[in-house]
Amino acid sequence: MSRQTFLEPFNAKAMSYAEVARTFVPSTKFTQLAGAWNSVLVGPRGGGKTTLFKMLSVEGQEAWTGAAAEPYKQTVAYTGVYVPSDIAWGTMLESLIEAGQDETVGILFSEAAFVTHVLLSVAIGIDRHVALNPVLRLEPGAETATDEPTQADLERVIATIARLWKVQPVSLSPASLVDALRERLLNIKRDTRLRAKLKLTDTPTQEYLGIDMLESASQALQAFDAAYRRPHHRWCLLLDEFEVAPMHLQKTVLAAMRASGAQKLLLKVALAPCGPDLLYDQQGSAPPSQNNDVQQVQLWYADKTEAIEFCQQVFLSRSSIYPALAGKMPSEVFGTSAYAVVDDSEDAAQIDLFTLTGRNKKQVTEQFQALAEKDPTFQEFLRRKQIDVSRELGMQPSDRHGNTLRKIAPLVAFRNAYKGKSVGKKRGVKPFNTAYSGWESIAAISEGNPRWLIGLITRIMSNNDQVQFPVPTPQQTAGVQWNCQRYAEMLQSVANEQFGSIKTSTPIYDVLSKIGDYFHNRLVTATFVEDPPMSFVVDERVSDDVEHALRIAVNHGAIVCYQIAADVGGFPTLRGLRFRLTYLLAPVFKLPMRKSKSVSLSTILEAKPETPTSQDDPTANPAGQLIQGDLWAN
């Protein structure tokens, strides 16, 4: 098996539309996003926002073939125009302000660059449509009565669009229109640099200033569709990575969403979960509403069953071309794991993980017995529950204490691996890596993030010189640990400022480490409880500086929110919200992957190292059980 090609990590931004479409796996997120409505797509880095947007574009739709694609393609009742982000939108504004220019002038040039960028993408879409649907070229004096668009129709509409957009193409063709807009982008950047360097103070008069994005694009597309005899056709702008755009541009686009629902042009915007504050006061007008103006889609999975199913489809889409894996399910390749318990549901798939026989059943029983011998608090727990670990342990619903035993089995294994014989002490042993092998664990660690999943599997399989299934546990855990450590190292180097508005003096990874160490200590050295806290609520005692560090962590997928973002564009504040560490950090901080109750973040940050509380934290969220229901609700 090739070391170079198997499940190679990808970044859709650098891939062609054909490459993205070749292994694209539609999900419920895609269905929610794809409809003929305005949308805001919210997700962390690597969550798949660019992939979804490229697949909604006309180029992505053309490249996506096969019977499975047709039902989804029918829901895309518009021509999608992909608009990549450009940091120049913000740097223009910054450079002019730094040079002493009036902020209004800077905003004008920044908006001009953005609008031209959008119009350029629209012009490319028009050019592509004409290439795929050529107009009739009639001979001079020929009959002109036809239902098909002619060359004369096309030239008239290009002339109309050129007047609307204030450009002068060298010929009346879509390609020439594209060239003229590219030239305008260069002119805008040149004019901006000159104003900044020469510190010009005169009033700018360039024709490209002040053009409205929505109106100029809509009117041009109305004229084009009229020429093609399809007046009711719709188009959609797909604005990717829009969190990098200056705040005034975000305001402009979100405001447009409130007015564009029934018009020619739909808007779909991709944003990080925590960007600049989008709850703005736009001269008294309200931001768009999720219920009335936009469909908001979040690229993280509240339902773990849905995430695992999506992960399986991603695996199958990329593994079927390899002879050794063709026709194999991921559970055959990686085996199963009884330690990937992330909730206490009694569905068949969960119970099957604990259908223990022979050697496996003996190993689990030995874990319970070993912990009971060295942990008086676990002995007390067993006494209260009337559980006799000297007898055979049954973990099916029909067994006595079956549900309880199944729920705590992973906790017992973790605690036994790390707990020393002295009260409150840990022992120095090798990491409990078995918990992070098996398909359920790999899928959970990926969080349903396709880039993370592909990276995990790529690393695991890259060392598989001889095909052996299931892949040996040491090989799986080595690949998982390598990826998780690289992710932790990335978080350690993350900048303490994002988008010019999220700034913190607290290193992001320091906060994550305090949270992870606290949970590990509660799991290992504190009094044994059936449900130790593994999640936290950002309470009012947490400083703004720490909250800003967490906002950056959210944007990188390092912490996962249990609740949906109620506001359009993500989370304007994290206070009062419940989070857990991403499972990609579970091997780093030696934590199980499970649903649990919560504790206030201020309690975690104020705890002294290696001295966790010996009983349940009285400040733990009293409504934790109600909140956690939101995470796994169907």
pLDDT for 282: 40
Give me the mean pLDDT over the 558-570 stretch.
85
Q: Is the pLDDT of residue 286 over 70?
A: no
pLDDT for 432: 81
When the pLDDT of each residue in the chain is averaged and rounded to a whole number, the result is 84
Q: Which run of H or E residues covers position 265?
A: strand 265-271
* pLDDT confidence bin for 516, thresholds 50/70/90: very high
Q: To the nearest whole percent, how much of the chain has pLDDT over 70? A: 83
Q: Which run of H or E residues covers position 266?
A: strand 265-271
Q: Is the pLDDT of residue 615 over 70?
A: no
pLDDT for 451: 87
> Cα–Cα distance between 403 and 346 in angstroms, integer?
8
Tell me: the pLDDT tens digits for 359-406?
456 777 888 999 999 999 999 999 999 999 888 777 777 778 878 888
Tell me: the pLDDT tens digits for 412-430?
989 998 987 766 566 655 6
Numbers of helices and strands, H then E, in the chain: 25, 11
The amino acid present at 341, given as its one-letter code, is V
CB 427 within 8 A of CB 525: no
Give me the mean pLDDT over the 574-589 stretch.
95
Q: What is the DSSP letter of 251?
A: H
Tell me: the pLDDT tens digits for 217-260?
999 999 999 999 999 999 999 999 998 888 888 888 888 887 55
> Cα–Cα distance between 634 and 626 in angstroms, integer?
15
pLDDT for 628: 29
pLDDT for 504: 96
The amino acid present at 33, given as its one-letter code, is L
pLDDT for 633: 27
* pLDDT confidence bin for 487, thresholds 50/70/90: very high
Q: Is the pLDDT of residue 576 over 90?
A: yes
CB 136 within 8 A of CB 151: yes
> Cα–Cα distance between 7 and 322 in angstroms, integer?
10
Tell me: the pLDDT tens digits for 182-198?
999 999 999 999 999 99
Structure tokens at 455: 């990276």
Tell me: the pLDDT tens digits for 82-131?
999 888 888 888 888 888 888 899 999 999 999 999 999 999 999 999 99
* pLDDT confidence bin for 464, thresholds 50/70/90: low
Beta-strand ranges (E) seen in 120-187 are: none
> Cα–Cα distance between 619 and 232 in angstroms, integer?
58
CB 26 within 8 A of CB 48: no
pTM, two decimal places? 0.86
Q: Which of 55-64, 380-389, 463-472, 483-492 has the lowest mean pLDDT?
A: 463-472
Tell me: the pLDDT tens digits for 523-562?
999 999 999 999 999 999 999 999 999 999 999 999 999 9
CB 537 within 8 A of CB 598: yes
* DSSP-assigned beta bridge partners for residue 578: 537
Give me the mean pLDDT over the 582-589 stretch.
95
Structure tokens at 201: 């103070």
> Cα–Cα distance between 28 and 34 in angstroms, integer?
10
* DSSP-assigned beta bridge partners for residue 580: 560
pLDDT for 287: 64
pLDDT for 3: 38
Instruction: For tokens 């229901």, name the residue.
Output: 629
> Is the peptide bond prior to 470 cis by the omega test (within 30 degrees of 0)?
yes
* pLDDT confidence bin for 410, thresholds 50/70/90: confident
Q: Is the pLDDT of residue 309 over 90?
A: no
Q: Is the pLDDT of residue 176 over 80?
A: yes
Burial of 44-78, coded b for 16+ CB within 10 Å and e otherwise, reads: bebbbbbbbbbbbbbbbbebbeeeebeebbeebeb
* pLDDT confidence bin for 1, thresholds 50/70/90: very low
Give residue limits of the domains in the chain. 80-136+147-298, 338-436, 494-632
Structure tokens at 19: 């490459």
Q: Which run of H or E residues covers position 578?
A: strand 578-581
Half-sphere exposure of 505 (CA within 13 A, CB side): 2
Give me the mean pLDDT over the 515-524 stretch.
96
Give me the mean pLDDT over the 140-144 stretch.
57
Instruction: For residue 512, give the nearest of 489, 533, 530 by alpha carbon.
Output: 489
Q: Is the pLDDT of residue 261 over 80?
A: no
